[in-house]
C-alpha cells in the first residue's frame, strides 16, 4: 500500500513537471573556459541522468570485481579448512603421506598457516623424511616469527622421539636463550638434562622448575630427585660416606620414600662398605613395598651375621613362596652363609619359575666349583637355547678314528 502511494505521487509529480517543461522548456548555459554549452532543461536532466547511470555502472563493475575476489578468497578459505580437518584426521589415522600433502597444501589459505605447517612437519617426521620435516618447521617459523615456542618445541619433541637428543638440546637451549621458553619447553629441557646425565644443569634449572606453577609438582620433584640421586650414586662409587650422607640429605623428603630412591641410597652405602646400614634401608623397603630391585640388592649384602639376613629373607619367602627374585636372593644369602646345597635348591627353583641369564650363570659356576661340570654345561646350554629362541638343528656327526 505504501509503495503504491509513492508510485502514484511520483507519477503525478512527473506529469506536473512535464507540463511545466512543455510550456517553458527552460534554458541551461554552461561556460568552461572559452567554450559555451547551451541546452534545454529536459535535455540537461537526461544528460545528468545518463552520467549518473554511467558512473553507477562503472562503480558496480569495480564492486563486482571486488566481490568476485572476495568470493574466491572465501572459497579458498573454506577449502583450506576442509583440507586441514581431513589432514588432521589422516594424521591421527596414520595416513601420514596424505596428511602431509593436505596440511602443507592448504597452509597458505588456512586460518593458521604455522599450525598447518607444524602438522605437516609431524607427518613428515613419522614418514622418516627429516629434511621435509625441517623445511615445514622453518616455514612455520616464517609465518609466525613472533611465536618461536610452538615451532621449536614441536621440533625438539620430534628430535627426541627419533633419539636426536643432542639436536633437541640445542633447539631448546636456543629457544631458552631467545626468552620465549614456556612451561612445556622447560619440562622437555629438564627431561633432556636427565637423559643426558647433565645433573649439574638440571639442578641449576631447579628454581625455575619450582617457580613454574604449570608443571606438575610430582614431575618436578622426580626430576630434581633424579639429579640429586645421581650425586648419591657418584659418592657411593667413590666410597665417600660423608658425601653420600650430604647428597642424600639434599634429596627432597617426598622422594626419599620412593623405593628407587631408597635402593639407590642403599647401593651407595654398600659402596662405602656399610652393609649394615644398607640392610636396614632395604629391609624397610621390602617389607613395605616388596620391591624387586631391593630384593636383588639384599642378596648382595655381606653381613657379620649372614644367617640372620637369611632367616629374614626366608620369612618373606613363606609369604611369597613363588617369587623368583626372592628365591634368588635366598640363594645368594645361602652362599654368604656357605650353605651350598640350600643355595643350589633356591637357584634351581628361581630359574624354574622365571629363567634368568644371571642366575643361570651363577648356578653353572656353582656347579662347576663343586665338581658337577656336566650339570653346569647343561645349565649353560639351556640358557643359550632360551636366548637363541630355539635349539639349533645339527646333523649327527660321525667321527673317524685316525689311522695309527
The pLDDT value recorded for residue 401 is: 58
Q: What is the pTM of this model?
A: 0.59
Q: pLDDT tens, position by position, for the chain (404 residues)?
A: 666 666 666 566 655 555 555 555 666 667 666 676 667 766 667 667 777 777 877 777 767 667 766 777 688 888 888 988 998 898 899 999 999 999 998 888 888 889 999 999 999 999 999 999 999 999 999 988 888 899 999 999 999 998 899 999 999 999 999 888 999 999 999 999 888 888 888 888 888 888 888 888 878 877 888 888 888 998 999 999 999 999 898 887 877 888 888 999 999 999 999 999 999 999 999 998 888 899 999 999 999 888 999 999 999 999 988 999 999 999 999 999 889 989 999 999 998 898 888 888 888 888 888 888 888 888 888 888 887 777 666 566 565 655 44
Q: State the CB neighbour count (10 A cutoff) for residue 49.
A: 10
Using only C-alpha atoms, the chain has a radius of gyration, in whole angstroms, of 43
Among residues 92, 151, 75, the alpha carbon closest in space to that of 117 is found at: 151
CA angle 228, 230, 232 (to 5 degrees): 75
Neighbours of 92 (CB within 10 A): 9
Quote the CA–CA distance of 2 and 144 in Å, as a whole number. 57
The Cβ-side half-sphere exposure at 182, using a 13 Å CA radius, reads: 10
Query: How far is residue 255's CA from residue 156's CA, in Å, rounded to a whole number?
Result: 28
C-alpha cell at 268: 651407595
Tens-digit pLDDT profile for residues 272-305: 999 999 999 999 999 988 888 999 999 999 998 8
For the chain, domains (ranges, CATH) are 319-388 (1.25.40.10)
Distance of alpha carbon 41 from alpha carbon 47, whole angstroms: 10
Distance CA(342)–CA(335), nearest Å, equals 9
Closest CA to 79 of 123, 117, 114, 109: 109
Nearest to 42 by CA among 26, 55, 53: 26
Report pLDDT digits (tens) over 122-174.
999 999 999 999 999 999 999 888 888 999 999 999 999 988 999 999 999 99
Residue 64 three-state SS: helix
Amino acid at each position: 500500500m505504501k509503495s503504491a502511494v509513492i508510485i502514484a505521487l511520483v507519477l503525478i509529480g512527473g506529469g506536473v513537471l512535464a507540463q511545466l517543461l512543455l510550456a517553458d522548456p527552460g534554458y541551461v548555459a554552461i561556460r568552461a573556459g572559452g567554450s559555451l554549452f547551451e541546452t534545454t532543461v529536459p535535455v540537461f536532466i537526461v544528460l545528468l541522468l545518463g552520467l549518473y547511470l554511467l558512473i553507477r555502472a562503472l562503480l558496480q563493475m569495480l564492486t563486482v570485481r571486488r566481490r568476485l575476489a572476495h568470493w574466491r578468497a572465501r572459497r579458498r578459505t573454506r577449502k583450506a579448512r576442509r583440507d586441514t580437518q581431513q589432514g588432521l584426521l589422516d594424521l591421527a589415522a596414520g595416513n601420514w603421506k596424505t596428511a602431509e600433502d593436505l596440511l602443507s597444501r592448504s597452509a597458505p589459505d588456512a586460518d593458521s598457516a604455522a599450525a598447518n605447517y607444524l602438522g605437516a612437519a609431524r607427518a613428515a617426521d613419522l614418514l622418516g623424511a627429516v629434511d621435509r620435516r625441517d623445511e615445514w618447521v622453518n616455514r612455520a617459523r616464517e609465518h609466525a616469527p613472533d611465536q618461536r615456542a610452538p615451532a621449536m618445541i614441536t621440533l625438539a619433541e620430534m628430535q627426541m622421539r627419533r633419539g636426536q637428543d643432542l639436536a633437541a638440546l640445542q633447539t631448546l637451549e636456543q629457544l631458552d636463550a631467545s626468552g620465549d621458553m614456556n612451561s612445556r619447553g622447560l619440562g622437555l629441557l629438564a627431561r633432556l638434562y636427565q637423559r643426558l646425565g647433565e645433573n649439574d644443569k638440571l639442578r641449576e634449572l631447579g628454581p625455575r622448575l619450582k617457580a613454574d606453577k604449570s608443571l606438575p609438582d610430582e614431575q618436578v620433584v622426580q626430576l630434581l630427585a633424579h639429579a640429586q640421586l645421581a650425586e648419591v650414586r657418584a659418592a657411593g662409587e667413590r666410597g665417600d660416606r660423608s658425601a653420600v650422607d650430604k647428597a642424600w640429605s639434599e634429596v627432597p623428603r617426598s622422594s626419599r620414600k620412593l623405593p628407587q630412591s631408597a635402593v639407590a641410597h642403599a647401593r651407595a652405602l654398600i659402596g662405602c662398605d656399610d652393609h649394615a646400614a644398607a640392610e636396614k634401608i632395604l629391609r624397610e623397603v621390602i617389607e613395605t613395598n616388596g620391591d624387586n630391585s631391593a630384593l636383588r640388592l639384599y642378596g648382595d649384602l655381606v653381613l657379620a651375621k649372614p644367617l640372620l639376613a637369611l632367616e629374614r629373607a626366608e620369612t618373606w619367602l613363606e609369604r611369597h613362596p613363588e617369587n623368583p627374585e626372592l628365591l634368588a636372593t635366598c640363594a645368594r644369602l645361602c652362599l654368604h652363609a656357605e650353605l651350598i646345597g640350600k643355595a643350589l635348591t633356591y637357584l634351581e627353583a628361581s630359574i624354574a619359575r622365571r629363567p634368568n641369564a644371571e642366575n643361570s650363570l651363577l648356578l653353572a659356576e656353582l656347579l662347576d666349583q663343586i665338581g658337577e661340570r656336566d650339570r653346569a654345561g647343561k645349565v649353560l646350554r639351556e640358557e643359550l637355547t632360551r636366548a637363541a629362541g630355539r635349539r639349533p638343528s645339527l646333523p649327527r656327526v660321525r667321527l673317524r678314528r685316525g689311522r695309527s
